Amino acid sequence: MQITVQQAAKRLGVTNNTITNRIKKGVLKGTKQPAKGRGRGWRWLLDDAQLENGNQPSAAAVVGHQAGFAERLEKVERLVAEIHAVIYGKEGA
C-alpha cells in the first residue's frame, strides 16, 4: 500500500524531514507524485512494506551509501591537496 511521508513518519516515530532525507539518500524508496486536492506541488509516496522491519536499510542501500561516501571523500581529499598546493606552492602536496 502507498503511504505519505507524514504517515511513514508517524509509523516510525520520526519527523517528516527525516523520511524525506531517507528517500533522497536512497535508504527508503519513494515516488514523487502530483499533490491531489492541494493545488500545485508534489508529494512523496512510499510503499509501506519497506517499513515493516523498523526501517532497517537493505544491504544494497548500505553498500550504495558507503560507495557514494567513499567517492565524496576522495573528491574532498583531492580538493584539499589542490588547496594545499596553491597555498604552499607545491605540486602533489
**pLDDT tens per residue across span 75-85:** 999 999 999 99
For residue 13, is pLDDT > 90? no
Domain map (residue ranges) of the chain: 1-53, 58-93
Q: Report percent pLDDT > 70 for the chain.
A: 76
Three-state secondary structure readout of the chain: CEEEHHHHHHHHCCCHHHHHHHHHHCCCCEEEEECCCCCCCEEEEEEHHHHCCCCCCCHHHHHHHHHHHHHHHHHHHHHHHHHHHHHHCCCCC
Cα 20 to Cα 11: distance, rounded to the nearest angstrom = 14
**pLDDT tens per residue across span 48-67:** 888 876 655 556 666 666 67
pLDDT of residue 65: 63
Please give the CATH architecture assigned to the domain spanning 1-53: Orthogonal Bundle (1.10)
For residue 19, is pLDDT > 70? yes
pLDDT of residue 16: 92
47 φ/ψ angles, rounded to the nearest 5 degrees:
-80, 120
pLDDT of residue 78: 94
pLDDT of residue 55: 56
89 φ/ψ angles, rounded to the nearest 5 degrees:
70, 30
